[in-house]
Structure 1
């Protein structure tokens, strides 16, 4: 049995280290929605080193190798992909890890690499742009577009026809504490844009309560008079946060009797505004109204709909693999 030998330039071979790193990052992002910035620093430094190395090789080759095969693609990668990543992070379209991943890819893959494996040459197709980072970005967008279609098919096959079938699926309420994504409420949509489940965990930890305890006495805990005098650290809402949470206290009969009084709860139901004002920073952009609507859905329904909120890093990873093997899906479809 003969093993195929990969032939490529030194920079292109070293760039393949991105595959195992992005594989790990995508899996971790799905499981925890947490990626340390330390992951991207070594890749960014490697990308900068390889950019200089490839630039030197192109400069010594001269002619088209310098202008068309290096300068123009690198200009597209650094002058377009980098600003796009920053812009979408700034307006909230990307998470921090997603933006950093694209910045790293812009440094790692400013040009189109070539890998010869036996009689095959990868990527299989070329692109006029010449910057693989741009191809990764367009591939990732196309992959991301297919996710709502996949969700809709999944729900349709299960007989779940609802307005939110393109963005989520139903789960039991007791799964909320261990899930990522956004709580949509009912099949008709419910909690506006959805309550970030990390924000829900932050609120419950701040009050020292479990969701089950809140469901047992929703009228009581809806009353802002039941807020703790000394709240707990809310953490960052991570599912696996190793944090000691003090008990939220026992139900006081007198307060419970007043809980049904609209005047007692109308100023700040659930203490949502008090919570958001007390914590440092924001709970992932959550508003008091979103928190209240999410809590109402969580305590009233046995089954709720959530949007998994697939991190864009996953389509980026898939887009990277497609780019290295096939090339640009969009260009391939148009030509």
Structure 2
């Protein structure tokens, strides 16, 4: 036990408490970029393993109930939560970074803490029956996630945007799309059945705006350019002979000035895009403003894009990409489901877990159900 003025805690609990600002920063970066470097989890997992080793020694020394409690909570945390994260990733419900975050939490926060500050012990609520702290963090995050559609509806109502999509999305002007995270909603996506499907299989729901940025970067064109002359860009003959690295569609990439993608703008264009006058003979002919027949093969070059890139562009199909591009070049305002940056509810769950404990268990106790 370490006493630091009014603060008293074991060394493992104190070090775990000090990781809370780290998750605050990770939640902030997740909001800004929807990206977290995989190397981020290495030091946190290493710290978790070291703290487990330290607690193992203390549990062996204490023996009896303390030893059994340590074995049970650690087994559930590391065994169950890590397995669940891997399974959800395998089924497509979690991305790789989300799964790694859960696995890291399972190792870093297995046991229930007890931190005394100015005479008050935190978490203030009684421990959850299983006393698996990582599970409590996850439960708190799920509670926040359940409340999210209601918060979204309140936000839309306050802004005067009332429709059946108000629980699942927000309206976004077309010129904000290149720096917006989320998925493009269609009328069918707003249905309850489709949204439930989207929760279970997120890669099968809506056009991911990261995929749109990948497409724009691949062909070296901006959304503004597509809207200025959609018939030209819809014609697959307008595709450049040399395409660009599509990247992973992250908003922040070009602003960071990555050398291998230094010519790629945030919204997909190149620093000095060719004009139709400067284009070669074939491109100049394709820049003609004549309307493209609806029966043209591979509108927008969507199939060519999918065949040329590595991976599946976040579950995008050529048909879904074409439909999204048709809407992006004609509509002034589009509904986008912003999704929940995974580390935001995780940070919320972590903060509440350290301060209060398990929200769900507390509610069930207040109702007299447990």
Q: TM-score range by the shorter chain?
A: over 0.9
Q: If the length of structure 2 is used for normalisation, what is the TM-score?
A: 0.84
Residue 272 of structure 1: aligned partner: 302
Alignment counterpart, residue 239 of structure 1, candidates 235, 239, 251: 251
- Aligned ranges for residues 26-41 of structure 1 at < 5 Å? 26-41=27-42
Q: Which residue of 2 aligns with 1:55?
A: 56
**Structure 1 290/262 Cα, relative in aligned 2: closer, same or farther at 3 Å?**
closer
Taking the aligned partners of 1:186 and 1:295, their CA distance within structure 2 comes to 15
Alpha-carbon distance in structure 1 between the residues aligned to 2:231 and 2:166: 31
Does the CA contact (< 8 Å) of 1:26 and 1:314 recur in 2?
A: yes
| Count of aligned pairs | 330
> How many angstroms apart in 2 are the aligned matches of 1:21 and 1:325?
17
Q: Distance in 2 between the 1:259 and 1:155 partners?
A: 38
TM-score, normalized by length of structure 1?
Answer: 0.93
In the alignment, is residue 80 of structure 1 matched against residue 92 of structure 2? no
Cα distance in 2 for residues equivalent to 1:188 and 1:88: 22
Q: Deviation string for 1:179-215 (max 9, x for gaps)?
A: 1111225698599932111111111111111101101
2:102 matched residue in structure 1: 102
Partner of 1:159: 160
* Alignment match of 1:225 (pick from 215, 222, 237): 237
Range with greater deviation from structure 2 (238-247 or 300-309): 238-247
| Aligned-partner Cα distance in 1 for 2:113–2:167 | 36
What is the aligned counterpart of 1:260 among 284, 292, 300? 292
* 1:76-155 → structure 2 map (5 Å cutoff): 76-125=76-125, 126-155=127-156
User: CA–CA distance in 1 between the matches of 2:98 and 2:189?
Assistant: 30
CA displacement, residues 226-254 of structure 1 (integer Å, 9 cap, x when unaligned)? 11111111111111222314426527456
> Which string of whole-angstrom CA distances, capped at 9 and with x for unpartnered residues, describes residues 12-68 of structure 1?
111112201101100001001111111110010010010011011011001001002
Q: For 1:67-118, what per-residue CA distance to the aligned partner results, in whole angstroms no more than 9, with x for missing partners?
A: 02x1111111012111111111222222222221111111111110100112
CA contact 2:150–2:167 (8 Å) conserved in 1 = yes
2:220 matched to which residue of 1?
208
The alpha-carbon distance between structure 1 residues 253 and 19, as it changes in their structure 2 partners (threshold 3 A), is: same
Partner residue of 1:325? Answer: 355
- In the alignment, is the contact (CA less than 8 A) between 1:180 and 1:197 conserved in 2? yes
Deviates most, 249-258 or 201-210 = 249-258
User: d(CA) in 1 for partners of 2:227 and 2:328?
Assistant: 8
Structure 2, unpaired ranges of 5+: 195-203, 255-261, 265-269, 277-282, 366-370
- Asked if the contact 1:164–1:187 (Cα under 8 Å) also holds between the matched residues in 2, the reply is no
Of the structure 1 ranges 148-157 and 134-143, higher mean CA displacement relative to structure 2 is found in 148-157
Structural RMSD (CA): 2.1
Taking a change above 3 Å as real, the CA distance of residues 177 and 118 of structure 1, as seen in their structure-2 partners, is: same
